[in-house]
Amino acid sequence: MRPKKALAGVATFAAAAIALSGCTTGGAGDNDPSNTIDGEVEGDLKIITWRTDLVESGKFDEYIAAFEEKYPDVSVEVEGITDYAGEMTTRLSSDNYGDVIGIPAAIQPNQFDQFLEPLGEKAEFEATYRFLNGAAYDGTQYGLAIGGNANGVLYNKRVFEQAGITELPTTPEAFIAALQQVKDNTDAIPMYTNYKDGWPLGQSFGNLGGVTANPDASSEMAKDTAPWTEGKDMYAIDGLLYDAVAAGLTEEDPLTTNWEQSKIDIATGKIGTMTLGSWAISQMQAAAEDNGASADDIGYMAFPSNVDGTQHAVIGGDYNLAVSRHSESKAAAWAWIQWFIEESGFAENEAMISTVKAAPLPENLAGLEENGVQLMEMNAAPSGEEGLLNEVSSDSQVDLFGNIYRQELVDVARGAADGDKESFFADLNARWSESVERVAS
């Protein structure tokens, strides 16, 4: 299964903004003045989800049964969509896209009010919930995160022990040295890129801000003419990948990597590390149990960097649940969202960070706390600049949240393409700078 969201805490890669007349004329849900999120919790409710695994396994049926027991006047059905982003983009051209949805990347923040029911002022939610920025616009909250994840590095504890690594690395240099120990002392691949599947390469971008402990890093990058400069987040993030590949510390043939197999391989000690969000921990633990290994072998560390000796891990929300503006059961839809986040046990079951601030961290992130890692959320972009980083990324054709330029980086690092680290980063800076001047000036 692919990640439930590519990146936590950072805006998803710019999809084309939707401008659809079908969603501006009003639907049945808009014609009844009593149909508000504060109305009676009753009616038919359709949940549209990207979590097809929970639908197929029957777990979603358990959630529905528990919700209907609490709210007997509501009848719930769920539809799982494999190509959620693509299919939802199509459905948004009509009024019929479910009652509760995960906000698709195609809906830009300034379009929230076209498609989604406002839940209230953002300030009203700040004392209770985390991860609000991804579903807020101009002071209004339109959704709540289903849960959250941390960003960092997944590793196999047993491999590290066999390699003789006694302390987790807190600098890029120490991390490369640890990978070399894995290569020298074990049969494991020190770091696996998942180059062929591609999307895992984009996971490292979730560490933006954590390297320099700067919660404004994403909005500042939108105006930075040289982000790939030593001392900055992007230089460290992409530089670590380059250096690991150049030193021969990744898989021998990146063209043959396999995501599903990699889950088994890191679980059973054939891979040492992968740069992934914490959403992956539970999947790797399950792979361990299914293949005769121990789930306890799967560990999670902060990205190898520190500021004055303190490490930081960026945390952010997964998909944001929202009420369709055109729902005919808005109160029931809002009740589902609150119940799912606060009472269903979903975050605990998925070992995610709860959106509820008062909830404890999941056990699988205990290692971060034990090592003194500070968790940080990224700040919202300044008003009027909510989509600026996406715009610069799109204009420059540097897919920050994707895999194309990082696959090119791997090719250069392994000698399959011309150039070196300095020339590659210089080209990125040049392309980015031109777009900053065009888009952000």
pLDDT at 102 over 60: yes
Q: Which two tokens stand for residue 293?
A: 């290994």
Q: Distance between CA atoms of 136 and 141, rounded to whole angstroms?
A: 4
DSSP state of 440: I
CA contacts within 13 A on the Cβ side of 81: 18
Q: Distance between CA atoms of 210 and 99, rounded to whole angstroms?
A: 36
> Shortest CA distance to 280 belongs to which of 146, 153, 103?
153
Per-domain residue ranges of the chain: 21-147+318-359, 149-316+361-441
Q: Which two tokens stand for residue 255?
A: 């063209």
Average confidence (pLDDT) over 374-384: 91
Least confident of 62-66, 200-204, 361-365: 361-365
pLDDT in tens, 17-55: 444 434 444 555 566 778 999 999 999 999 999 999 899
Ramachandran area for residue 433 (φ above 0: left; ψ -120 to 50: alpha; else beta): alpha
Three-state SS at 335: helix
What pLDDT score was predicted for residue 29? 58
As a whole-number percent, the residues of the chain with pLDDT over 70 amount to 93
Residues 6 or more apart whose CB falls under 8 angstroms from that of 266 comprise 154, 156, 192, 272, 273, 274, 284, 287, 298
Q: Distance between CA atoms of 348 and 159, rounded to whole angstroms?
A: 27
For 57-70, b/e burial (b = at least 16 CB within 10 A) is eeebeebbeebeee
- 167: exposed, middle or buried (C-beta count within 10 Å: 0-12, 13-18, 19+)? exposed
pLDDT in tens, 108-157: 888 999 999 999 999 999 999 999 998 999 899 999 999 999 999 999 99
Average confidence (pLDDT) over 388-392: 92
Average confidence (pLDDT) over 319-333: 97
pLDDT band at 273 (very low <50, low <70, confident <90, very high): very high
pLDDT at 291 over 60: yes
CB-CB contact of 291 with 148 (8 Å): no
Q: Distance between CA atoms of 268 and 284, rounded to whole angstroms?
A: 9
Q: How large is the C-alpha radius of gyration of the chain?
A: 22
What pLDDT score was predicted for residue 13? 36
What pLDDT score was predicted for residue 109? 86
3.40.190.10, 3.10.129.10, 3.90.120.10, 3.40.50.10860: CATH of 149-316+361-441: 3.40.190.10
DSSP 162-175: HHT--S---SHHHH
Question: Do the domains at 21-147+318-359 and 149-316+361-441 have one common CATH topology?
Answer: yes
Residue keyed to tokens 């034990």: 370
What pLDDT score was predicted for residue 9? 39
What pLDDT score was predicted for residue 129? 97
For the 21-147+318-359 domain, the top CATH level (class) is alpha beta
What pLDDT score was predicted for residue 374? 96
pLDDT band at 4 (very low <50, low <70, confident <90, very high): very low
CB-CB contact of 223 with 437 (8 Å): no
What pLDDT score was predicted for residue 441? 80
CB-CB contact of 108 with 137 (8 Å): no
What pLDDT score was predicted for residue 402? 86
Which range in 13-17, 26-30, 93-97, 255-259 is most confidently predicted, on average pLDDT?
255-259
pLDDT in tens, 147-198: 999 999 999 999 999 999 999 999 999 999 999 999 999 999 999 999 999 9
Q: Which two tokens stand for residue 219?
A: 């909005």
Q: Distance between CA atoms of 209 and 198, rounded to whole angstroms?
A: 23
Q: Distance between CA atoms of 11 and 340, rounded to whole angstroms?
A: 23
